Amino acid sequence: MDKFRMIFQFLQSNQESFMNGICGIMALASAQMYSAFDFNCPCLPRYNLAYGLGILLVPPLILFLLGFVLNNNVSMLAEEWRRPQGQRGKDPAVLRYMFCSMAQRAMIAPVVWVSVTLLDGKCITCAFCTAVPVETLGNASHPDLSQEEMKLVLARIPCKEIYDGQELIANEVAIRYLRCISQALGWCFVLLMTTLAFLVRSLRPCFTQAAFLKSRYWSHYIDIERKLFDETCTEHARSFAKVCIQQFFEGMSTDLAATRCHLPSKAPADAGEAAEKLLGITDRGTMNTALKSWHRCKPPLHLHPPALPTGNGWAGEGQPPVQPPVPRREMAAYYSRV
């Protein structure tokens, strides 16, 4: 178990740095994706706005969802949220803590995409080129052009090769103007996000530190408990398999009564050790019941020796267990047949 202890400590201390690493990689991937993406403005009046805003807003949504998908703790949160109460109440503060920490990490890549997009300027130039103030920047005194025709001309601003409105408004002037607006928006967005992050981080110690310590402890606990349970089940499965195979070979050798079929020569001491590790669970039905019971009715967070649970759940002291022990009666009935 020493080896497991070291691994768990490593994972625990590095869980945060592992998630931060994934977060950083996604942010870099997001910037790289943008530079690799071949932006292609349609240069048509209504399509420009749709395309530009689509490129600005849809990839961040995808990156946000991807951030959740890549986070290992999502399944842990879902499990804790949906499990039946059993003997252990549910603490909404812990669920909120887990969700908030995941959401904060998932927000980073979308914010990077939006910032890079705005600072680059192509999207906003494409989306809002028909809204350029021609009166101030160019010659609005073109009587021949109707509104629609002017929009058609302005929509071609991002496509320098086909732009034919040089007398109306110079292409470079319009692009510089739009890009300036876009970059100003970008920097304001970056400043806003950094200020929000700073406030979120610095207001917590001022107001909710005690509750935070509690939520953090129990959310780490849930994670460790899940991993340890999986480890215990794996060990159990290994011992089960060992004993099962031994019994099979023993059975074979007694059936055939042949000397050719040698037992995999394990000493009785080994068999005893494996059997001990089985923790008394020696058949499939019992194991299935154990796994079902682990999900339906998690044990209370109370380690005093008496095996009968006293029902101290999350919600407070003195609350009786919500579910009556119906499944156990079923098990006893099952076994009485054997």
Partner 1 sequence: MDRFRMIFQYFQSNSESVMNGICGLLALASVKMYTCFDFSCPCLPRYNMAYGLGIIFVPPVALFLCGLILNRQSLLMLEEWRRPQGRRKKDLAVIRYLCSSIMQRAMVAPVVWIIVTLLDGKCLICALSDSVDPKKFVGFANSSPVQVQQLLAKVPCKDDELMRNNTSRKAVSRYLRCWSQALGWSILLILIVAVFLARWLRPCFNQAALLQARHWSNYIDIEQKIFEETCCEHSRLFAHKCILHFFESMQEEIKLRSFSLPREGEEAEREEDLLQGITDQDRVNKLLKTWYYEKPALDISLATQR
Which chain residues interact with partner 1 by CB under 8 A? Answer: 5, 8-9, 12-13, 119-121, 137, 170, 172-173, 176-177, 179-180, 183-184, 187-188, 190-191, 194-195, 197-198, 201-202, 205-206, 209-210, 213-214, 217, 220-221, 224-225, 228-229, 232, 276-277, 279-282, 286, 289-290, 293-294, 299-304, 307-309, 312, 314, 317, 328, 331-332, 335
Cβ 265 to partner 1, closest distance in Å?
24
Determine if residue 83 is left, alpha or beta; phi over 0 gives left, psi from -120 to 50 gives alpha, anything else beta: beta
- Burial of 138-152, coded b for 16+ CB within 10 Å and e otherwise, reads beeeeeebeeeebbb
Measured from the CB of residue 172, what is the shortest distance to partner 1 in angstroms?
6
CA distance linking residue 26 with residue 60, whole number of Å: 11
Q: Which is nearer to partner 1, 211 or 261 (CB)?
A: 211
Q: What are phi and psi of 315, to 5 degrees?
A: -70, -20
Q: Tokens at residue 232, please? A: 């215990």
Asked whether the beta carbons of 168 and 139 are under 8 A apart, the reply is yes
Q: Which is nearer to partner 1, 99 or 294 (CB)?
A: 294
Indicate the residue among 198 and 248 with the shorter CB distance to partner 1. Answer: 198
The answer to whether the CB of 97 falls within 8 A of the CB of 216 is yes
Instruction: Tell me how far, at minimum, the Cβ of 146 lies from partner 1, in Å.
Output: 27
In the complex, what is the shortest distance from the CB of residue 104 to partner 1, in angstroms, rounded to a whole number? 11
Q: What count of Cα atoms within 13 Å lies in the side-chain half-sphere of residue 85?
A: 15
In the complex, minimum distance from the CB of residue 161 to partner 1, in angstroms, rounded to a whole number:
17
Q: Closer to partner 1 at the Cβ: 261 or 299? A: 299
Smallest distance from partner 1 to CB 335, Å: 6
Nearer to partner 1, 183 or 253 (CB): 183
Report CA torsion sign: 310, 311, 317, 323: negative
Q: What is the DSSP letter of 305?
A: S
CB-wise, 81 or 221, nearer to partner 1?
Answer: 221
Give the list of residues 6+ apart from residue 132 with CB closer than 8 angstroms, or none. Answer: 154, 157, 169, 174, 177, 178
